[in-house]
Amino acid sequence: MVNKIAYQEIISELKSKSTTLVAVSKIKPASDIRELYDLGQRDFGENYVQELVQKQSELPADIQWHFIGHLQRNKVKYIAPFVHLIHGIDSIKLLEEVNKEGKKNNRVIDCLLQVHIAQEETKFGFDETDLSHFSDYFEIEKANLSHVRVRGLMGMASFSEDTELVRAEFGQLKQIFEIMKGSAFLGQSTFDTLSMGMSGDYQLAIDEGANMVRIGSLLFGRRA
């Protein structure tokens, strides 16, 4: 069951701050997605490739599907024909695989680089040293990466009730985003997306500069 009141409140809040809502619909049935779709929502996020492919085949074609989970290279081919934005590019090899599949499908696939900002070791992503190496690589190889477009960064803060810690981690990611946005090779106008913040911390993320948030449980309820 979708919380329609919460959806309308969140949409109103985000609209005033020019922030995009990605409704995280993983493990939820297509009927729940359809409810939000009928209210005007078009951006939906999924964590699992098989589930995303199934839902994409069942639901309206104008939905913009975001892949927000950890993506394995051997599964890129299944979502490459239609995915709107891949949030979790956490290695150069994965980016190259997305580029390869984009070429096969004659389309440019938009991506975000996932940055590790949390204290937990379980989170995936580039650290600041990795990003420096990525920048050097991208400057050399960008002509060969014509079927991917790096649109910005994504990160997840620590799962913590310490709001100052969470705020600091989001602030760190915003700093990195601004540095990369201003660099000579990534400084194109299409490097414009900072995806951070979920149901429990999205307001902190917006305060620190997020322009895309990923919200699930506030809309769809807790998952089993």
pLDDT of amino acid 223: 64
CATH superfamily, with its number, for domain 4-213: Alanine racemase (3.20.20.10)
Domain ranges for the chain, please list them: 4-213
Number of C-beta neighbours around residue 159 at 10 A: 14
19 closest CA partner among 32, 31, 28, 10: 10
pTM of the model: 0.94
Each of the 224 residues of the chain gets a pLDDT tens digit; together they read 899 999 999 999 999 899 999 999 989 999 999 999 999 999 999 999 999 999 999 999 999 999 999 999 999 999 999 999 999 999 999 999 999 999 999 999 999 999 998 876 666 789 888 888 888 888 888 889 999 999 999 999 998 889 999 999 999 999 999 988 887 556 566 889 999 999 999 999 999 999 999 999 999 987 65
Of 98, 100, 102, give the one whose Cα is nearest residue 88: 98
pLDDT of 121:
65
Q: What are phi and psi of 58, to 5 degrees?
A: -95, -20
Question: What pLDDT, on the 0 to 100 scale, is given for residue 22?
Answer: 98
Strand segments (E) across the chain: 20-24, 43-46, 64-67, 85-89, 109-115, 148-155, 193-196, 212-215
